[in-house]
Structure 1
Amino acid sequence: MKDSCVHIYCGDGKGKTTAAMGLCIRAAGSGKKVVIYQFLKNNTTSEIDSLNRIPNITRIEGKDKMKFTFTMTEEEKEELKNYYNEKFKEIVDFVQKTNAELLFLDEIIYAILNNVFEEENLIEFLNKKPKTLEVVLTGRNPSEELIELADYVSEIKKIKHPFEKGIPSRKGIEN
């Protein structure tokens, strides 16, 4: 029997991060040590203040300023890729050092899709991760290899979104 699993929340619908954060809160509430890192997001999302107050959750800080990848030059993307590949090593070391039981890598799949993180690093980690470490991944369009490695894959499909009516993201709801 497997001690821990890999979860993927993917799709074009809203709620991937929200679902994964709910799992993190549930795990922390049961006494598990949780580590969260958010790719492609700055340190200003609305959930941060709440997460910082929950016992058993450690949120690793990311970059303070973050542009959308579609507005980045190739040089900026390459710089971000180097940053994320190094940051990932730090995260893995921290998880192992602290014996974390759940690691949430928010938008890592989207970072792979946008070529600012190397999928091979994630796959190697997932194949060698501690047996007691649950891993949660979010983002759009996971590769077939990631889907094969995962134990849970949940797709969140957009049927309708207020952005289509010109309503921008709202604090506390979408960001």
Structure 2
Amino acid sequence: MTVEDPDRHNAKMAKKKAARDKIMATKTDEKGLIIVHTGKGKGKSSSAFGMIFRCIAHEMPCAVVQFIKGGMGTGERDLITGHFGDLCEFHTMGEGFTWETQDRTRDTEMAQAAWAKAKELIRDPGNRMVLLDEINIALRYGYVDVVEVTAFLAEEKPPMTHVVLTGRNAAEELIEMADLVTEMELVKHPFRSGVKAQAGVEY
């Protein structure tokens, strides 16, 4: 490995910092963002919960609505409800994945109830961030109308409220209107090698 001359390296970094500072000086706006985490890779909900925990750390009121995940306990839910319920409302309103419930009518009813709760939480300007966990799955299966969701976000979301939407196969309409979109790419997954979901990694 070639080691760069320290003086040359320092000069290069000083130039880079000056360019970066110039760019950052132009970034002065603040707004509530629409954030989409999608893709086949792991980490969509985990990343979203990372932002929820940041809000909690800054003592910013926030909320979570889980659209698909059912009654199985998760580390995020246990930690939030057990220690930070005063700052973060947590609503698990699904009953499990569609191949587990095998009841489209019931799934639709639950997703509609979750969307009603989500709208209530988003409308409250006191909430700095609202996470709609796995809503993309509910949208993909038609349990909730994507046109209704995008119209609501465009017309009724308070200006400074962040809304995070997670799940595979995000609708193009959501991607188009979002301020920030991240697609998690699957490279390797232990499930393919026979390793089951584990506490601390998946839940």
- 1:70 is aligned to 99
Alpha-carbon distance, 1:138 to partner? 0.5
TM-score by length of 1: 0.88
Change (3 A) 1:101 1:113: same
Which structure is higher in RCO with an 8 Å CA cutoff and minimum separation 6?
Answer: 1
Q: 1:138 aligns with which of 166, 171, 174?
A: 166
- 2:12 is aligned to none
Tell whether the 8 Å contact from 1:85 to 1:118 is kept in structure 2 after alignment.
Answer: no
Q: How far, CA to CA, are the matches of 2:142 and 2:195 in structure 1?
A: 29
Q: 1:24 aligns with which of 40, 52, 65?
A: 52
Matched, 1:5 2:36: no
The more displaced of 142-151 and 85-94 is 85-94
Q: How many pairs are equivalent? A: 171
Tell whether the 8 Å contact from 1:69 to 1:114 is kept in structure 2 after alignment.
Answer: no
- 1:149 is aligned to 177
> Which structure would you say has the larger Rg?
2
Q: 1:120 aligns with which of 147, 150, 174?
A: 147
Q: 1:111 aligns with which of 138, 145, 148?
A: 138
The more displaced of 95-104 and 1-10 is 95-104
Structure 2: which 5+ residue stretches go unaligned? 1-28
Paired residue type of 1:29? A
Alpha-carbon distance, 1:127 to partner? 0.9
Paired residue type of 2:97? F
Paired residue type of 2:93? G
What secondary structure, in the 3-state scheme, does the structure 2 residue paired with 1:153 have? strand
Change (3 A) 1:164 1:61: closer
- 1:102 is aligned to 129
Paired residue type of 2:193? K
TM-score by length of 2: 0.77
Alpha-carbon distance, 1:114 to partner? 2.4
Q: How far, CA to CA, are the matches of 2:52 and 2:140 in structure 1?
A: 24
Structure 1: which 5+ residue stretches go unaligned? none
